[in-house]
């Protein structure tokens, strides 16, 4: 896979999960595109990190949405805890990233399959 393919696939996975939760507003898609652009440099410097990039993009988008007042994404709706909390990517830096609820200690879905 070329770097373009890797980044395109990562963008598509994250966009799918944004879309599933109805959080794919123009502002959020701008954040996503900015993150993907910045991660290009990272994966160019470290080609072995290609299979980790989707998880990195998801975490970057998550952090920037929170910092930018765009809300917590994705909210956990999988467990019994009714206090608002978001899912986290695991592994933080690794292949086959998936969403987990840290409160319940459960895996919720693969990235791109929320």
* Position 16 contacts Zn ion (CB under 5 A): no
Q: How far is the CB of 76 from Zn ion (least distance, A)?
A: 3
Distance, in Å, from the CA atom of 51 to the CA atom of 59, rounded to the nearest integer, reads 14
103 binds Zn ion (CB under 5 A): yes
Among 6, 61, 101, 111, binds Zn ion (CB under 5 A): 101
Residues paired with 101 in a beta bridge: 106
22: alpha, beta or left, given left = phi > 0 and alpha = psi -120 to 50?
A: left
Interface of this chain with Zn ion, residues 60 to 99, rule: CB under 5 A: 76, 79
Angle at 10 between CA 51 and CA 57, to 5 degrees: 90
CA 26/CA 47 separation, integer angstroms: 30
Q: Please say which residue, 76 or 114, places its beta carbon nearer to Zn ion.
A: 76
Tell me the number of residues near Zn ion by CB under 5 A.
5
Question: Does residue number 58 form part of the binding site for Zn ion (CB under 5 A)?
Answer: no
- The stretch among 15-23, 48-56, 89-97, 101-109 that binds Zn ion (CB under 5 A) is 101-109
Q: How far is the CB of 90 from Zn ion (least distance, A)?
A: 13
Secondary structure class of 106 (helix, strand, coil):
strand
Please, which residues bridge with residue 90 across strands?
98
- The residues that touch Zn ion, with contacts defined as CB under 5 A, are 76, 79, 101, 103-104
């Amino acid at each position: 896979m070329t770097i373009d393919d890797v980044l395109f696939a990562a963008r598509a996975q994250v966009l799918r999960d944004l879309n599933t939760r109805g959080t794919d507003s123009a502002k959020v898609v701008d954040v996503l595109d900015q993150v993907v652009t910045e991660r290009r440099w990272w994966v160019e410097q470290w080609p072995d990190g290609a299979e980790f990039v989707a998880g990195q993009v998801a975490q970057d988008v998550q952090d920037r949405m929170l910092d930018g007042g765009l809300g917590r994404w994705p909210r956990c709706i999988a467990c019994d805890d009714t206090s608002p909390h978001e899912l986290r990517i695991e592994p933080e830096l690794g292949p086959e990233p998936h969403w987990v609820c840290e409160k319940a200690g459960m895996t919720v879905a693969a990235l791109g399959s929320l």
